[in-house]
Structure 1
Amino acid sequence: MTAAPQPSSTRSRRPSLLLLIVIAIALGVVCGLFFPDWLTSVFVTFNGLFGQFLGFAIPLIIVGLIAPAIADLGRGAGKWLAITAAVAYLSTVIAGLMGLTASMAILPRVLPAERPDALTNPEESLLTPYFSLEIPPLFGVTSAVVLAFVIGVALTVIDGNVLRRGFIEFRDLVNWMITKIIIPLLPIYIFGIFLNMTQGGQVATVIATFLGVVVFVFILTWIMLLLQFTVAGLFTGKNPIKMLGTMLPAYATALGTSSSAATIPVTLRQAIKMGVSQPVAAFTVPLCATIHLAGSMIKITCFSIAVMMLFGIEINWGLMIGFIFMLGIMMVAAPGVPGGAIMTAAGLLSSMLGFNEAQVGLLIATYIAIDSFGTATNVTGDGAIAAIMDKLINRSKGQNELATEAATVEERV
């Protein structure tokens, strides 16, 4: 009986997820320089299978986390849905306006002199798996979000104790899937992604051509993160730097997956570690993974302006501001998968900014080459929004109601 504390000491010796992800990225880049194609294809095959499983699991994760979390919020859940969406949209639009202003001031000094006409989509140079297995999801990401909203809000109105209990147990199943399957396999998945990207070579060409723009966008995304967590720190009274540091495992995970949705398990865990209550975290994190794309907005805005400058397209401030506001709305429909935001924005680039097929292709190639940086900014910023919403929701409730809810959630968890 005295050996009971042993698992705790064993867990303390395990490397952190952040360290494992950093190691996976570094090994992927290094091994990509000398691994033979056949060995790389083994990991590409694993990534294909795991990616299909992720695609299947993500809608279930969204429903399993959001629906009971909305139910836990009580009868005011509809109001908090609207407020969360408004905060996410505001953050995304501010990111776009910041990218527009900074790009007009800085990009003329960092762009290359010649047009990069020869670049192609970097995904075309990647190795393919030995075999693939299609695991279609039961429904899409957008359908999952809508379904979770409907069920969650309904559970706050009707006396559905049996249905509520069923979704609480479904949440437990989702949490088990996250902790026992997805998170342990994420480092291998990330290693395979960077291994294949390094061998592909086209990604390096894109980054070399737009190196100054890439560095500029990277700095801008971190300025946006500092702004988001400064606001969150003012709301919560916490140290914004410590809050941002707590979210770094989510940032590192997104660097490898390039998917906001695939990073939900880690983002959720880190938001709770940051002090966000479990019901609010389970409600805001999966929601923001599909509607809050501040990092993607910065990237699309900056690279759109870069392409316009390179090809001599006239830049109209009024048109660009309208583009940003419209793109912020379209981002809500973007799936939380790699490249989802730029694919959603492709039509808008042609219709509003007048991009031709080659220019859209160039922007897609550049976006995909550094997709992970924008995604990492998206998911890390989700933690700031979760902290703000946690403060707003808890401030609006009486202390007795909060105590009762905390006890209920603790019992369920």
Structure 2
Amino acid sequence: MKLILKLIAGIVLGILIGLFAPAWITQTLLTFRDLFGQLLFFTIPLLILFFITSGIAGLPRDSGVLLGRTLGTAYLSTILAGTLAFLVAAVVVPMLASGAGATPPPEGEALEAFFEIEIPPLFGIMTALATAFIFGLGITATDSHQLKTLFDQGRDVISKLLVAVIIPLLPFYIAGVFAELAAAGTVFETLQTFGVVLLLSIALHWAWIVTLFVVAGLQAGRSPLSLIRNMLPAYFTALGTMSSAATIPVTLQSTRNNGVKREVSSFTVPLCATTHLAGSTITIVACTVAVMVLHDALAMPTLWDMIPFILMLGIVMLAAPGVPGGAVMSAIALLTSMLGFGESAVALMIALYMAQDSFGTAANVTGDGAIAVMIDEAAGDQTPGPKSS
């Protein structure tokens, strides 16, 4: 929650600077934003390469049927949730945020950074993704411990960069975005859209949570409301931690309170913490629609245009770093390569997503409990041991 407060402070500071500060202060902030953006875009391919490779190579291999069933259920939930989010957001956001397009200021009046420095990425996004899958699957097939260690250590380096540099500086980056919007006179329309998307995302999160637990309840012969009530401690813990990984102990206890066998919960909960991202997908897709509404240069895609994006999103977010904002950092690759997002659109996307990241994480974690119930019922007596009560 501290990060959310810092982001809100960054938004307020940026608006005040853009509206009232001398031009040179705004330009200084824009210069920082541009430099930070270069670092961010340089880091994204490395994040994709190391995190996805490490995630695939680290999947357990000795529980074939249970593994396949859990991964399949988690991926299907993520894709269906993203599709639902697009269908609803594509109708609701343009209707409620009408007139909020980001119209550029007249020629010659736009403030610019004092200077620019380009830091080209080592390789492209799709190159990083393809390489990650080749090495991830190859390490699993060959049981190469040295390569796995290499990618695990690379993941730790990028994670350290995120935690120590990128995440702490995000509020200043967001301040630069909103300073430019304020100077251009479009900031209040943007904030209106932010409010619409926040409320819409939370509503969609709970619609999907209820859907998952209705399915789980029908399969287990249990009351969905009772199952959801037992998962509420995990939901509220995730709101505070903004991390599925950090919430695992509470999620485990909550799923066991729902009668899931210890052997099943101990396998499915940690796995779903990095592979079931339905809540984050809902947030990302809804925010994507909002940014496209705000940017006249971005045309609203059709469902058939978005399906490949959503399918890839469910893969790219695999083993997203256990830090706040990890999902959207991974998604930037697809936003730029598949939907044509530029730097200003990406900056708005980060601001919009990070402001509601904790709610998406809470939805992920709560949904993990429903998947655990489904897998437990499907496993039946194949996993011995009494159910925890």
TM-score range, shorter chain: 0.5 to 0.7
Given that 2:102 and 2:295 are in contact with CA atoms closer than 8 Å, whether structure 1 keeps it comes out as no
**Residue of structure 2 aligned with 1:354, choices 340, 357, 360:** 340
Query: Per-residue deviation at 1:316?
Result: 2.9
**Residue of structure 1 aligned with 2:233, choices 220, 243, 249:** 249
1:108 aligns with 2:94: yes
1:386 aligns with 2:372: yes
Given that 2:101 and 2:293 are in contact with CA atoms closer than 8 Å, whether structure 1 keeps it comes out as no
Query: Per-residue deviation at 1:212?
Result: 1.3
Given that 1:110 and 1:213 are in contact with CA atoms closer than 8 Å, whether structure 2 keeps it comes out as no
The TM-score, its normalising length taken from structure 2, stands at 0.61
The amino acid across from 1:250 in the alignment is A
Query: Per-residue deviation at 1:102?
Result: 0.7
1:230 aligns with 2:214: yes
Instruction: Give 1:296's aligned residue.
Output: 280
Instruction: Give 1:181's aligned residue.
Output: none
Given that 1:112 and 1:210 are in contact with CA atoms closer than 8 Å, whether structure 2 keeps it comes out as no
CA distance in 2, matches of 1:379, 1:112: 34
SS at match of 2:212: helix
Query: Per-residue deviation at 1:100?
Result: 1.0
- Once the two structures are superposed, residues 10-55 of structure 1 have per-residue CA deviations (whole angstroms, 9 ceiling, x without a partner) of xxxxxxxxxxxxxxx79x98xx99xxxxxxxxxxxxxxxxxxxxxx
- The count of aligned residue pairs is 267
- Percentage of matched positions with identical amino acids: 44
| Greater mean alpha carbon deviation, residues 327-336 or residues 372-381 | 327-336
**Residue of structure 2 aligned with 1:218, choices 188, 202, 208:** 202
The TM-score, its normalising length taken from structure 1, stands at 0.58
Query: Per-residue deviation at 1:291?
Result: 0.4
CA distance in 2, matches of 1:209, 1:305: 10
- Once the two structures are superposed, residues 228-280 of structure 1 have per-residue CA deviations (whole angstroms, 9 ceiling, x without a partner) of 00010011111011101110111101111111111111111111111111111
- Once the two structures are superposed, residues 197-219 of structure 1 have per-residue CA deviations (whole angstroms, 9 ceiling, x without a partner) of 9xx998xx986651111111110
Given that 1:299 and 1:374 are in contact with CA atoms closer than 8 Å, whether structure 2 keeps it comes out as yes
Instruction: Give 1:343's aligned residue.
Output: 329
The amino acid across from 1:100 in the alignment is F
1:311 aligns with 2:295: yes
Instruction: Give 1:186's aligned residue.
Output: none
SS at match of 1:210: helix
The amino acid across from 1:393 in the alignment is A
- Once the two structures are superposed, residues 370-397 of structure 1 have per-residue CA deviations (whole angstroms, 9 ceiling, x without a partner) of 11010000000000000101111125x3
Query: Per-residue deviation at 1:104?
Result: 1.7
Given that 2:73 and 2:371 are in contact with CA atoms closer than 8 Å, whether structure 1 keeps it comes out as yes
Residue correspondence of structure 1 range 138-287 to structure 2 within 5 A: 209-287=193-271
1:370 aligns with 2:356: yes
Answer 1 or 2: higher relative contact order, Cα 8 Å, separation at least 6. Answer: 2
CA distance in 1, matches of 2:302, 2:349: 19
CA distance in 1, matches of 2:191, 2:228: 27
